[in-house]
Amino acid sequence: MILTLKPDADPEAVRRALAARGLWVVRLDGADGPVAFEVRAHSRAVAAGELADLPGVAAVAAPPSPHPRLDAQPERIDVGGLEIGPGAPPVWIAGPCCIESEEQIEATAAAVAAAGARMLRGGAFKPRTSPHEFQGHGLAALDWLAAAARRHGLRTVSEALSERDAEAVAARVDMVQVGSRNMQNFALLRAVGATGRPALLKRGMAATIEEWRLAAEHLLVAGAPGVVFCERGVRGFDPASRNLLDLGAVALLAHVDRLPVVVDPSHALGRRDLVPHLAKAALAAGAAGVMIEVHAAPERALSDGPQALPPDEFAELLREARASGRASA
Ligand code: PEP
Ligand code: MN
């Protein structure tokens, strides 16, 4: 952003006023034109309007944003009557990796609701790395999910894997998930946006933060009323941790962009013993919520058993979070 000063302005007074607002500037002196300051991108995110009225400032030029809809998205978005975003109580989203049966999702909903979760997750269309693994029960599973959630006062989120299913998934859940492997599937983003449901946008395994923001822009342009970001770990160099959970990205989205971002610690490391530690770190970094895989018998789970928390460990985690003021219930 470039500020051009009035001819009679005192450049040092303007510099001090900007510094007092947390802005670092570089003075740009033309041969005999007016004095200008460039606001350094990393000092603080600031809206052009905030600076235009400062004494001594004649004009503010800001490059057009590539994601104007996202920039205009409110800090908190409404998901079935539940607010998610900076300033709202952290939202705990829990449930199995995949919905395996009507009984399983009912029992899980009862357990996670009693522990303090506000939203039920569960995959019905599963993006599996191998075609030989369980692919999900499809729409029938979403009807089980919706019924169980209704009985226990929970909102729901589930993934749409293809544009073909977006409408049917959106008709059954409060928020439609776009999975990591599909973050830049633009046809799917358009279809999910067009359903008019809020979206949970998982970060692609090798996506930059700006690519992630632009994927959200696609959803918003297509008609999504709001996007909640979900950090789930990016591809790192070290196989000892399955993925590299980028809490720096979470802090940036939460504190600089002021956007709703939740963290999925289950898919990050792929190990249940570390999930509680990462969940707490996520909230400390500014996450507006946490999404955790919970399974009554992780050793028998049809997918992602090693990372699923049994319900009693999930309840214990929420008790600890509540004790430190990081759970809403
Ligand atoms: C999931 O949340 O069930 C899932 C498949 O996650 P991801 O897209 O992050 O791998
Ligand atoms: Mn999973």
Cα–Cα distance between 158 and 127 in angstroms, integer?
Answer: 12
Per-residue pLDDT at 328:
61
> What residues sit around ligand 2, an ion, with C-beta below 5 angstroms?
97, 304
Report how far ligand 2's centroid is from the alpha carbon of 3 (Å): 48
Exposure string (b/e) for 148-187, b if CB count within 10 Å is 16 or more?
Answer: bbeebebbbbbbbbebebbbebbebbbbbbbbbebbebee
Per-residue pLDDT at 63:
84
| Closest-approaching ligand to the CA atom of 179 | 1
Q: Any idea how long the chain is?
A: 329
Ligand 1 pocket list (CB less than 6 A): 97, 123, 127, 179-181, 202, 232, 267
Instruction: Determine whether 97 is exposed, middle or buried from the number of CB atoms within 10 Å of its CB (0-12, 13-18, 19+).
Output: buried
Report how far ligand 1's centroid is from the alpha carbon of 221 (Å): 24
pLDDT per residue, tens digit, the chain (329 aa), is 999 999 999 999 999 999 999 999 999 976 678 899 999 877 777 878 889 999 999 999 988 899 999 999 999 999 999 999 999 999 999 999 999 999 999 999 999 999 999 999 999 999 888 999 999 999 999 999 999 999 999 999 999 999 999 999 999 999 999 999 999 999 999 999 999 999 999 999 999 999 999 999 999 999 999 999 999 999 999 999 999 999 999 999 999 999 999 999 999 999 999 999 999 999 999 999 999 999 999 999 999 999 999 999 999 999 999 888 776 64
Q: What is the 3-state secondary structure (H, E, C) of the chain?
A: CEEEECCCCCHHHHHHHHHHCCCCEEEEECCCCCEEEEECCCCCCCCHHHHHCCCCEEEEECCCCCCHHHHHCCCCEEECCEEECCCCCCEEEEECCECCCHHHHHHHHHHHHHHCCCEEECECCCCCCCCCCCCCCCHHHHHHHHHHHHHCCCEEEEECCCHHHHHHHHCCCCEEEECHHHCCCHHHHHHHHHCCCCEEEECCCCCCHHHHHHHHHHHHHHCCCCEEEEECCECCCCCCCCCECCHHHHHHHHHHCCCCEEECHHHHHCCHHHHHHHHHHHHHHCCCEEEEEECCCHHHCCCCHHHCECHHHHHHHHHHHHHCCCCCC
CA atoms in the 13 A half-sphere facing the CB of 6: 12
Q: Are 300 and 308 contacting, i.e. CB atoms less than 8 angstroms apart?
A: no
- How does strand 77-79 pair with strand 82-84? antiparallel
- Return the amino acid letter for 141: A
Report how far ligand 2's centroid is from the alpha carbon of 246 (Å): 18
Question: Chain-centre distance of CA 128, in angstroms?
Answer: 22
Residue with CA closest to ligand 1 atom 4: 179
Per-residue pLDDT at 329:
47
Report how far ligand 1's centroid is from the alpha carbon of 320 (Å): 26
Q: How many CB atoms lie within 10 A of CB 130?
A: 5
In sign, the C-alpha dihedral spanning 175, 302, 265, 68 is negative
| Closest-approaching ligand to the CA atom of 127 | 1
Instruction: Determine whether 134 is exposed, middle or buried from the number of CB atoms within 10 Å of its CB (0-12, 13-18, 19+).
Output: middle
